[in-house]
Structure formats: structure tokens, C-alpha cells
Amino acid sequence: MRAGSRPAPNSQKMAVGIDLDPEQIGRARKRIADQYDGRIVLAVGSITKLPFADASFDAAFDVGILHHVPAWQTGIAEIRRVLKPGGRIFFEEVTQAALDRWIYRRFLEHPRENRFSEAQFLTELQRHGFKSSSPIHRVLFGDIFIGVAKLQGAGLEDQRSSEIANS
């Protein structure tokens, strides 16, 4: 999950960014030092176990992250957990078909197991209570898809309780 934009001057909003690599967090902290009045928080963390309370964010930004995560479905579940009802996920992802091409395999490093198509990704979002709130945009001959989905508010607590009981 990434902070997708900088907070506006004089805004009370905050942005939070995570990365698995402490060195990357250190680099980012240096880049933003003395800026934004502490409204950007950076933390070491994993998308599969976010270090945040339930229903604590208005939005999440997946900018080419989940296709790097073998347990990407767990990442979506975690995003759902930390979003408030009505929260949105803004996503830009790469399809399995693209990652299977020789040029991607040759020049880029990605996990090979448990990849997803656009349809599988959108189905997983729906399974977790998200509804597409914008048209899906496709770039690079459909290799990358971009969209926004909103977490539906009605009955989320009942759905969460049911999922916990069944796990």
C-alpha cells in the first residue's frame, strides 16, 4: 500500500506508506524530512499483515504491489480490514498474461505462483465487499488495468463476524 498523493497544505489529512524493506522506508523518510508537518507516516510492514487497526483508513492505494505478493488474496482481505465502510481502493495492477510473457520474465522479477487476471482480481475484490466505482482502464495492450472500488457499508460487520466464525 502506498501513499498515493501528498496531503494538501493546511490539511488535517494524513498519508501512510508501508514497505517490507527498512532501507526503502529510510530513503523515503530522508526524501520527505522537514516536509508535510508530520502528516506522512512511513512504516515497515507487509500487505498481508497490515500493522493498523480495523476500519482506520478512508482509502488505500495499490500501485503495482499485489502482483508481487504470492498471497495477494490475503492482501486484499487486509486492505478491506483496515478500510472504513465506504472506503475506496485505488488500484493499478499487472495481469498474469503479461507476467507470463518472455519479456516480463526475462527483465523483471516477479513471483510465478498464484498470479491473477483482471477478472480474478475484480472477483476477489467483490468477494470482500468491494464494488467497482469507476470504469476499468487498460493500458499496454491490456497488460495493466487501473480502477477504483468502494467498500460497501451495509452489513459489513455481520459479514466480518461470519468470516471470523467460519475460519
Kindly report, residue by residue over 66-113, the tens digit of the pLDDT. 988 999 999 999 999 999 999 999 999 988 877 778 777 778 777 777
Inside any domain, residue 35: no
Nearest to 47 by CA among 21, 85, 13, 9: 21
State how far the Cα of 100 lies from the Cα of 68, in Å rounded to an integer. Answer: 13
Inside any domain, residue 97: yes
Domain count, the chain: 1
Backbone angles phi, psi at 105, to 5 degrees: -65, -40
Inside any domain, residue 85: yes
Task: Assess contact for 1 and 18: CB atoms under 8 A.
Answer: yes
Inside any domain, residue 17: no
Inside any domain, residue 38: no
Inside any domain, residue 37: no
Statement: residue 129 has pLDDT above 80: yes
Statement: residue 5 has pLDDT above 50: no
Statement: residue 126 has pLDDT above 70: yes
- Domain enclosing residue 82, as ranges: 46-166
Inside any domain, residue 143: yes
The predicted structure's pLDDT at residue 55: 95
> What average pLDDT does this structure show over 20-44?
89
